[in-house]
Amino acid sequence: MSSIMPTEVTRRSQLARRHIELGAEFEHSNGLIVVKDYGSKTELAQAKELGLADLSTLPRTGFKGAGAPDWAASQGLTLPQKPNTCAVQNDTALVAKLSHQELLILSDLDASSTQIGHLNNIPVGVQTYALPRADSHCWFAVTGNQTAEMFSKICSVDLRAHKFANGDVAQTSVAKANSIVIRHDLGSTHCFYILTDVSTAEFLWDCLLDAMTEYRGKPVGVAALRALN
């Protein structure tokens, strides 16, 4: 088990105890603690087949309102052209447009993006309202070439590659939990980000692991996801 523990920081995942029980190795990432790995030498191969990672400690934020898109663009963000799509930023952060007036912004896997911290620490524009997604939503990643087959058991949206393109966003139910699903491939490996209410974090984690069982899916750390890029 890691000598670094989630109790060393004020913000930790709702699943911290689960990770400790699984023998997680934690690492500091720009002031945050994330699961690096679970001590397996095959996690990269696992992530390429079917892996589940908890990214809930990484930065994220959101903004909503009639003025939100123009204000965000004035701060240097590259916005998607249409709702339910996303755009990668220059510093590899990700901006998802959930509607014409709502944006979700996710950090890169190293938590090195400065845009989220900047946006959270400046006054918002006219008709723009901050949505503290780090407080409201947990964040998981499901990776590998068997992701679409696994999701077919618990999600009504067809996430196969020819139906759900890289960069597409769906606001749907995953295992009966209202969720935001974003396809954001890591290199040549399929990756789906899932964000849902923090109150359902443990429930959804367990449902995903259960759905992954027949495909031999397992939890993986952020190190495996970084290696996919």
One-letter amino acid for residue 132 of the chain: P
Counting Cβ atoms within 10 Å, is residue 8 exposed (0-12), middle (13-18) or buried (19+)?
exposed
Residue 3: the pLDDT is 63
What class has domain 60-133?
alpha beta
Residue found by looking up tokens 């923090």 in the block: 198
Nearest partner of 1 among 30, 36, 28, judged by Cα: 36
Find the distance separating the first CA and the last CA of the chain, reported in whole Å: 26
Residue found by looking up tokens 């088990």 in the block: 1
For 134-190, strand residue ranges (E) read 137-143, 169-174, 177-183
* pLDDT band for position 1 (cuts 50, 70, 90): very low
Percent of the chain with pLDDT over 90: 90
The mean-pLDDT minimum among 41-55, 111-125, 162-176, 199-213 falls in 111-125
* pTM of the entire predicted model: 0.96
pLDDT over 80 at 136, yes or no: yes
**Going by CATH, does the domain composed of 41-58+135-228 fall within 3.30.1360.120?**
yes
Percent of the chain with pLDDT over 70: 99
Contact 33, 4 (CB under 8 A): yes
* pLDDT band for position 12 (cuts 50, 70, 90): confident
Q: Over the stretch 13-26, which tens digit does the pLDDT of each residue have?
A: 999 999 999 999 99
Q: Over the stretch 142-183, which tens digit does the pLDDT of each residue have?
A: 999 999 999 999 999 999 999 999 999 999 999 999 999 999
Domain map of the chain by residue range?
A: 41-58+135-228, 60-133
Q: What is the DSSP string of 43-99?
A: HHHHHHHSEEEE-TTS-EEEEESTTHHHHHHHTTPPPPSSTTEEEE-TTS-EEEEEE
Contact 169, 97 (CB under 8 A): yes
Q: Give the number of other CB atoms < 10 A from CB of residue 178.
A: 12
One-letter amino acid for residue 111 of the chain: A
Average pLDDT over residues 201-219: 98
| Spatial distance between the Cα atoms of 182 and 166, rounded to a whole number of angstroms | 8
| Spatial distance between the Cα atoms of 213 and 225, rounded to a whole number of angstroms | 20
Tell whether the torsion through CA atoms of 96, 138, 107 and 1 is positive or negative: negative
3-state secondary structure of 203: helix
